[in-house]
Amino acid sequence: MVVKFIFTAMLFFSFFTYNSFARELKSANDSVIVSEDDPITAKIKSFLNKKAYNDNKAFINIIFSPKSAYYIRDRVNVIKIIKTLKENGLLHLFFKVPQAFSLTFKTNGSPIFFVRIMDAVLSDIGYFRYLTVAAYLNASEFSWTINLTSEYMTDPMILQKALQKSGCKIIDITRNSAKKWTYIIDMNSAKLNVPTLEADKDVEIRRALYAHWFNVSQIRALQVRSSRRNHWYPYISYYDASLHLVKLLKRDKVYKSISLLIPKNAKYMKITDLYTLKNLRDGLTLSPTGVR
């Protein structure tokens, strides 16, 4: 079974020329009958099938009154709408048996940074296996579509909570069908949800299955010490705020200690082993110094 498709290749060969998302919407709207529903009603209908809406129309009008409470400035508060539907038993996200479904995420931020954040977010909410099926980038947005299999459709409220840990938020959701949803994500304040190293505060890294990530924006230097039981071949990479590689350090011999100067434009650092994390039986000790 394919797990966590290697997305970086797709990001770089999936550059196509498209019109902006807004123009696509306008073009689509020009070819269909415009709904007479107000924005709140239209969004409610999009999350329910026709029968469910019609059977509960009177109740929906009551629980969504006043509709002015479902706006954030001039934008529909889609998360609040979903919360109200769920709390009143109108939105069902569970399947009778595990089902395959797809999620599309759209954003105007850095593709590599966004996918790195989403990978952590998906793991955080229990999705450890997914397959990338499409990735597109144009001048105005990046779109990433994945397929998953689960007993439940992604809960937008749980997803929103996980995204907030990385400074991101959902600004719109479209239910294309019961098994196809699209999310518009704002990542203007995005950050990796990783520990921040602070001067003169040692950090112990325990043995792990994955590489260790840190925010190094507040320190100037770092000493990394390895225990005697380890056979650590250092592999350390630095990244800027958009997760572009700044510097890479790798050593093809065992180190018990290494002193590092943090590059000025580095915000994140990844520490692992050149060959395998099995070489780090007892973990590492990090001693940050200097303030930036």
- Of 109, 260, 127, 78, the C-alpha closest to 191 is 109
- 179 shares its domain with 231: no
Across-strand partners of 106? 143, 184
Q: Which residue has the tokens 């395959």?
A: 100
Q: What pLDDT shows up at residue 209?
A: 81
Asked if residue 135 lies in contact with residue 60, where contact means CB atoms within 8 angstroms, the answer is no
- 62 shares its domain with 158: yes
- 219 shares its domain with 87: no
- Tell me the two tokens of residue 79: 């998360």
Asked if residue 136 lies in contact with residue 161, where contact means CB atoms within 8 angstroms, the answer is no
pTM: 0.81
- Tell me the two tokens of residue 197: 């190293």
**Distance between CA atoms of 172 and 245, rounded to whole angstroms?**
31
Domain finish residue from 186, 219, 244: 186
∠ CA 267-270-275 to the nearest 5 degrees?
Answer: 160
Q: What are phi and psi of 35, to 5 degrees?
A: -70, 145
- 166 shares its domain with 253: no
CATH of the domain at 236: 2.60.120.260
- What is the side-by-side order of every strand in the sheet holding 234-239? 212-215, 268-273, 234-239, 245-250
Q: What is the DSSP letter of 21?
A: H
- 171 shares its domain with 90: yes
**Distance between CA atoms of 190 and 174, rounded to whole angstroms?**
22
- Residue 229 placed within a domain: yes
- 164 shares its domain with 46: yes
Q: What pLDDT shows up at residue 207?
A: 82
**Distance between CA atoms of 88 and 62, rounded to whole angstroms?**
11
- Residue 109 placed within a domain: yes
**Distance between CA atoms of 153 and 257, rounded to whole angstroms?**
47
- 131 shares its domain with 216: no
Domain that holds residue 271: 203-291
- Tell me the two tokens of residue 252: 């093809």
- 77 shares its domain with 165: yes
CA 215 → CA 2, 27, 189, 191, distances in Å? 31, 43, 15, 9
User: Which of left, alpha, beta for 200 (phi over 0: left; psi -120 to 50: alpha)?
Assistant: left
- 152 shares its domain with 225: no
Q: Which residues contact 19 (CB under 8 A, 6 or more apart)?
A: 27, 138
- Residue 42 placed within a domain: yes
CA 155 → CA 26, 122, 152, 167, 247, distances in Å? 29, 11, 8, 19, 38
Across-strand partners of 237? 248, 270
Domain tally, the chain = 2
- Residue 90 placed within a domain: yes
- Residue 123 placed within a domain: yes
- 163 shares its domain with 218: no
Q: What pLDDT shows up at residue 138?
A: 92
- 167 shares its domain with 236: no
Q: What pLDDT shows up at residue 210?
A: 86
Asked if residue 238 lies in contact with residue 262, where contact means CB atoms within 8 angstroms, the answer is yes
- Residue 140 placed within a domain: yes
- Residue 164 placed within a domain: yes
168 by Cβ neighbours in 10 Å (0-12 / 13-18 / 19+) ranks as: buried
Q: What pLDDT shows up at residue 109?
A: 86
- Residue 1 placed within a domain: no
Per-residue pLDDT of the chain (292 residues; tens, 9 = 90+): 444 444 444 444 443 333 343 344 344 444 344 456 899 999 999 999 999 999 999 999 999 999 999 999 889 999 999 999 999 999 999 998 999 999 999 999 899 999 999 999 999 999 989 999 999 999 889 999 999 999 999 999 999 999 999 999 999 999 999 999 999 999 999 999 999 999 999 999 988 888 999 999 999 999 999 998 999 999 999 999 999 999 999 999 999 999 999 999 999 999 999 999 999 988 899 999 999 8
Helices (H), the chain: 7-13, 21-30, 39-47, 50-55, 57-63, 78-87, 111-124, 156-164
Domain finish residue from 136, 158, 186: 186
Q: What pLDDT shows up at residue 206?
A: 87
- 153 shares its domain with 214: no
